[in-house]
Amino acid sequence: MGFILIQAGHADGALMAFDRALSQAPDLPMALWGKGMILYREKKDFAGAREIFEKLLNRVPPGEERNEIAKVLAEIPMGGSQGTKTTSAPKPAAASSSAQISGTISLDPKLKGSIDPNAALFIIARPASGAAGPPLAVKKIDKPSFPLSFTLGQENVMMQGTPFAGKINLTVRVDKDGNPTTRGAGDMTGEYNKNPVDVGTKNVDIIIDQLTQ
| Beta carbons within 8 Å of 132's beta carbon, 6+ residues apart | none
The SS3 call for residue 47 is helix
HSE on the CB side for 54, CA within 13 Å? 7
For 2-75, give the CATH class. mainly alpha
What pLDDT, on the 0 to 100 scale, is given for residue 189?
93
Q: Using the predicted structure, report yes or no on whether residue 82 has a pLDDT greater than 80.
A: no
Q: Using the predicted structure, report yes or no on whether residue 47 has a pLDDT greater than 50.
A: yes
Lowest mean pLDDT among 19-28, 37-46, 85-94, 146-155: 85-94
* Residue 210 β-bridge partners: 189
CATH 2.60.40 fits 97-211, yes or no: yes
Domain assignments of the chain as residue spans, ordered by start: 2-75, 97-211
Are 119 and 144 within 8 A, CB to CB? yes
Its pTM surpasses 0.85: no
